[in-house]
Chain A
């Protein structure tokens, strides 16, 4: 669009019949411009997100496989089938357990970390870089590091425990075996997945909380100090209530990311041992993509949707209520 002074230009326009009377250009119509600018995004999302979403629902109501991908509808058969499948039920449970446990811990821990990072100290830039690494490094690659740390033979944790005498000897606290099977023993495997989730989401939660902390006016905390409040009272009665919306947002985001995660489970355990760390996403992947059963895969994944929709609504409510003063 050339920059011209309105009066000098002849008016090609679509609005009035009279040339020269209204010097408006096609692009001057605000409404039109706004719509044109947003159209590609809406179109893309409708085709690549909306349409597939509908397709996913249709698949879950069909008997499609990669061999015969036609949409032959069979009603709720798939849902009945998977609800009977113990692996599915375990996946469903795990999905909730992993997400809720890890995020609860994250929220508590990240509060401490955020408050620490709000202060000035030497080497802060380095500490910050390290603390952000779990989030800034690609998920799959960071998880690979954990694969070694939790290895059944070579785990450095086990080495440290052995050196400390807590493992590997007859009367050791953690047992006589030379290794804890972090990824091989069902309960430990679940713990390991939760641990990696915590490790990965901490930076995100901390950053969000830090932003929230900095939005609390300094004077309010000083007034509380003058009014006689010590550290804990200030934290519990002033800081926390004011941070509540931000904490909720951090919690909900973390929940979404862990709830829908497939990568950590896939890289760490492939869902094992014996499906004890399977989650909805990974199970849907194994069934639908690797197993070729499109219908059941889709049906499994659909279960993610209600919780996500609920979380989305909550996030919106929190975001609206986020004004501090």
Chain B
């Protein structure tokens, strides 16, 4: 009697999980198949879309890598990503430390203020920012993105790091100061080594947020060679009204998967940071 109930519970559990897992992965599964399907098979409305009705082909992949600027897009994305990570670390790490250790109303309010800027949407700012970008002569260059992306990576990463820093007990720093360090020394020698996982998480998030970004990239860059993956794939693999589905799917999948893997891996760390930062206020 009890085991029947348990069986039903288990069945419901697997049912729910399977349903949502399939729902979530469906488009990617699609991309995987489309990337290797011959055009003839792909563009046949009566053929079973879930199976390879004709043998697989590497043609789309070849085309993507050799006939388009896909690799250039990847390169651009990496350049932008890395630069943004560096800028974010330089600015966000001290800011987060300052906010984490700064008790009192000022500290709290500043922290909240910085977090709130994350909520200001790109679509509100992109018009004035495009003027700013032009003013600095950075139109149609990666520099525009490198200048602008920290507007969302800094608030987000500062808030993330605040949580991590707060979780390190003050006692350890105070001990270091008794042992002869200045405040700064304690920070460098003690706090940073202990926050390596937090800083790593920030690196990953800053990079992935830059990689995901679409709106500013679309607004500031129209020269093909300077595009990042996020806008390059959706805009360049279309000639007029014709979608090059094969390479399009290949590009989308190849660009998505590594990011997704790393991001998933770091999500656990993020969750600890989140529950410490937001829930505890």
Contact = CB atoms under 8 A, between A and B. Distances in A.
Q: Assess A/B contact in the complex (Cβ within 8 A).
A: yes
Contacts of B234: 140-141, 143-144, 267
Contacts of B189: 3
Contacts of A136: 208, 256, 259-260, 263-264, 267
B90 interface: yes
A283 to B, nearest CB: 10
A74 interface: no
Most buried by B among A5, A45, A153, A208: A45
B119 A34 contact: no
Interface string A121-142: 1000011111111101111111
Nearest to A231: B9
Given A113-B20, A136-B259, A215 B275 contact: yes
Nearest to A322: B279
Given A141-B230, A149-B27, A322-B278, A49 B13 contact: no
B160 interface: no
A52 B264 contact: no
A294 B24 contact: no
B184 A1 contact: yes
Does more than half of chain B's interface fall in helix, strand or loop, or is it mixed? helix
A41 interface: yes
A308 to B, nearest CB: 6
B215 interface: yes
Interface residues of B, number: 105
Interface stretch (A97-105, A217-225, A234-242, A258-266): A258-266
B101 to A, nearest CB: 7
A312 B260 contact: no
Contact of A308 (B24, B119, B214, B252): B119
B223 to A, nearest CB: 15
Interface stretch (A53-61, A80-88, A169-177, A180-188): A53-61
A37 B94 contact: yes
B24 A131 contact: yes
A145 interface: yes
Nearest to A252: B119
A316 interface: yes
A38 to B, nearest CB: 4
B281 A52 contact: no
A166 interface: no
Contacts of A302: 124
B167 to A, nearest CB: 15
Interface stretch (B58-66, B127-135, B191-199): B127-135
B138 to A, nearest CB: 13
Interface string B93-116: 011011101100001001010101
A69 interface: yes
B154 A280 contact: no
A165 to B, nearest CB: 15
Contacts of B107: 34
Contact of B97 (A37, A53, A280, A308): A37
Contacts of A289: 126-127, 130, 219
A28 B184 CA distance: 8
A280 to B, nearest CB: 7
Nearest to B182: A1
Contacts of A312: 116, 119
Contact of A37 (B95, B219, B281): B95
A33 interface: yes
Interface of A: 1-6, 25, 27-28, 30, 33-38, 40-42, 44-45, 48-49, 51-53, 55-56, 59, 69, 109, 112-113, 116-117, 119, 121, 126-134, 136-149, 153-154, 156, 159, 178, 199, 202-203, 207-208, 210-212, 215, 245-246, 249, 256, 259-260, 262-263, 266-267, 280-281, 284-285, 288-289, 294, 297-298, 301-302, 304-305, 308, 311-312, 316, 319-320, 322-323
29 contacts: A1-B185, A6-B180, A36-B94, A38-B95, A38-B110, A44-B150, A48-B150, A52-B128, A109-B20, A116-B13, A126-B21, A136-B208, A136-B267, A137-B257, A140-B234, A141-B229, A141-B234, A142-B252, A149-B27, A154-B42, A199-B23, A202-B24, A263-B214, A281-B121, A289-B127, A294-B127, A301-B127, A308-B121, A323-B280
CB-based closest 3 A-B pairs: A145-B27, A260-B121, A55-B128
